[in-house]
């Protein structure tokens, strides 16, 4: 039982914990990708798909895919899926075997920005 004179402090602390949980949930974090983060795929994928934990703002969400030498290998047509606003897609050029670097930036519809990078490998 909490003493009556400590109720305001206990309620304030509870409110802060709840607000922190809501704020942390407001960012569009990368949930998963295809090809998957760190994966090796056999055969070149035609596109890269990224799924996020929040809906994205299309005008300010980007993804770039480069080869080991830093050359762009995406087709520059990054877009948000019309049926799933938490999914970003970019078409890929024909990829020979090698390691590819993905750099993404996501702006959630509530204006929070996240970014990150990962690699995937294409095997013959």
| Tens digit of each residue's pLDDT (9 = 90 or more) over 92-113 | 999 999 999 999 999 998 889 9
**At residue 18, does pLDDT exceed 90?**
no
Q: Tens digit of pLDDT for each residue in 5-14? A: 655 555 455 5
Q: What is the CATH number of the domain that holds 32?
A: 2.60.40.1220
**Would 17 be classed as within a structural domain?**
no
Give the number of domains in the chain: 1
Range list of H helices, the chain: 7-24
CB 105 within 8 A of CB 62: yes
| 54 burial via Cβ count (<10 Å: 0-12, 13-18, 19+) | buried
Q: Tens digit of pLDDT for each residue in 41-92? A: 999 999 999 999 999 999 999 999 999 999 999 999 999 999 999 999 999 9
**Would 60 be classed as within a structural domain?**
yes
- Tell me, what's the pLDDT at 92? 98
**Would 69 be classed as within a structural domain?**
yes
**Would 62 be classed as within a structural domain?**
yes
**Would 1 be classed as within a structural domain?**
no
pTM above the 0.75 mark? yes
**Would 85 be classed as within a structural domain?**
yes
**Would 106 be classed as within a structural domain?**
yes
Look up the domain containing 115 and give its range.
28-123
């Amino acid at each position: 039982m909490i003493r009556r004179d400590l109720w305001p402090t206990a309620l304030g602390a509870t409110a802060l914990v709840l607000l922190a949980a809501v704020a942390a949930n407001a960012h569009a974090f990368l949930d998963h990708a295809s090809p998957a983060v760190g994966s090796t795929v056999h055969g070149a994928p035609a596109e890269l798909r990224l799924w996020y934990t929040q809906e994205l703002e299309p005008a300010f969400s980007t993804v770039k895919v480069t080869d080991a030498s830093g050359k762009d290998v995406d087709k520059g047509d990054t877009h948000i899926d019309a049926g799933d606003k938490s999914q970003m897609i970019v078409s890929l050029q024909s990829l020979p075997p090698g390691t590819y670097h993905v750099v993404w930036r996501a702006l959630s519809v509530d204006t929070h920005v996240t970014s990150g990078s990962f690699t995937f490998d294409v095997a013959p």
